[in-house]
């Protein structure tokens, strides 16, 4: 484990031991700790977004994707492996953006990265069959004789894009409120959405179609976008707006 120290990245606001403590609490479900970590590390997202200004996506969309990568880094980070959190988080943040741009046809994956990714996936499968456990990045790096960072980037690049439903709320926490960088649990249970079917029918046409496809046909955001001829990010925005309207009805 990395020794206790002050990190330049955190501007000496908190010690690295405090960062590790927050990560431990966040991984156990402490939302306030996760919120604080997001605020402390949001600079990583902003820096990543600046690297992709060439894309057709606006900064808000890139920021949303980067925040998803940051949340994943918080949830998956293992301090016992000896990496600094910021070093671990950056590939996940940039990877989330790159995967979306890749699927949108804006950037391409190099042949080298594809080869590394497939070799890593093949070894992971073999390792799991043999041991019943997931191969760590360290094990993959040792087996393939490739730096951990490159393996991580390759696996991220080849994996499908994942999205959280992002929407605002009047509650103290939202699942991923990008304006305030705070987290919360789902606001409306699936069973309650069924009861709100009549209210959904009163939504504007596009929002109604999105909600029907997402919650009654059980399509992913990507498939919903494909059916409606819009992007996955647009589906996320429409769904967020519809959920806000439904929550108002649900709580009244």
pLDDT of residue 27: 92
162-190: pLDDT as tens digits: 433 333 333 332 333 333 333 323 344 44
Higher pLDDT, 4 or 55: 55
The closest alpha carbon to 69, from 162, 136, 154, 149, belongs to 162
Helices (H), the chain: 16-27, 31-50, 59-76, 85-103, 111-131, 137-144, 148-158, 190-195, 197-200, 205-215, 221-228, 232-251
pLDDT of residue 23: 93
Longest dimension (CA), the chain: 59
pLDDT of residue 204: 87
CA 63 to chain centre: 11
Mean pLDDT across the chain: 72
Q: Which two tokens stand for residue 59?
A: 């900064």
**Rounded Cα gap, residues 13 and 29, in angstroms:** 23
57-77: pLDDT as tens digits: 667 778 888 888 898 899 889
Residue 156 has pLDDT above 60, yes or no: yes
Residue found by looking up tokens 């009549």 in the block: 198
The closest alpha carbon to 165, from 73, 92, 237, 70, belongs to 237
Q: Could you tell me which residues come within 8 angstroms of residue 70 by beta carbon, excluding any fewer than 6 positions away? A: 38, 41, 42, 44, 45, 89, 92, 93
Q: Which two tokens stand for residue 234?
A: 């647009």
108 pLDDT tier (thresholds 50, 70, 90): low
Lowest mean pLDDT among 4-8, 14-18, 225-229, 247-251: 4-8
Level-2 CATH architecture, domain 8-158 = Up-down Bundle (1.20)
pLDDT of residue 24: 93
Sketch the domain layout of the chain as residue ranges.
8-158, 190-251
Measured from the Cβ of residue 32, the count of other Cβ atoms closer than 10 Å reads 14
Distances (CA, A) of 127 to 42, 130, 139, 200: 35, 5, 9, 47
5-15: pLDDT as tens digits: 434 444 445 78
pLDDT of residue 25: 94
Q: Is this structure's pTM higher than 0.75?
A: no
Distances (CA, A) of 133 to 79, 136, 159: 19, 9, 19
pLDDT of residue 120: 85
Q: In this structure, which topology does domain 190-251 adopt according to CATH?
A: Arc Repressor Mutant, subunit A (1.10.10)
**Rounded Cα gap, residues 230 and 222, in angstroms:** 9
């Amino acid at each position: 484990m990395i020794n206790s120290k002050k990190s330049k990245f955190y501007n000496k606001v908190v010690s690295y031991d405090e960062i590790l403590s927050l990560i431990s609490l966040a991984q156990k479900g402490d939302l306030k700790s996760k919120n604080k970590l997001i605020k402390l590390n949001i600079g990583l997202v902003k820096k990543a977004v600046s690297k992709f200004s060439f894309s057709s996506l606006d900064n808000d969309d890139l920021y949303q994707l980067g925040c998803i990568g940051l949340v994943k880094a918080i949830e998956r980070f293992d301090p016992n492996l000896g990496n600094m959190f910021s070093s671990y988080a950056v590939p996940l943040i940039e990877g989330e953006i790159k995967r979306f741009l890749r699927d949108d046809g804006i950037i391409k994956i190099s042949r080298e990265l594809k080869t590394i990714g497939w070799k890593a996936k093949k070894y992971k499968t073999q390792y799991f069959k043999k041991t019943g456990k997931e191969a760590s990045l360290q094990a993959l790096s040792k087996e393939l004789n490739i730096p951990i960072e490159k393996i991580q980037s390759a696996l991220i690049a080849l994996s499908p894009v994942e999205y959280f439903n992002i929407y605002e709320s009047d509650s103290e926490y939202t699942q991923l409120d990008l304006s305030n960088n705070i987290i919360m649990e789902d606001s409306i249970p699936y069973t309650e959405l069924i009861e709100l079917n009549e209210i959904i029918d009163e939504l504007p046409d596009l929002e109604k179609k999105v909600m029907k496809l997402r919650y009654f046909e059980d399509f992913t955001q990507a498939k919903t976008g494909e059916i409606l001829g819009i992007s996955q990010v647009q589906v996320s925005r429409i769904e967020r707006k519809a959920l806000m309207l439904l929550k108002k009805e649900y709580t009244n």
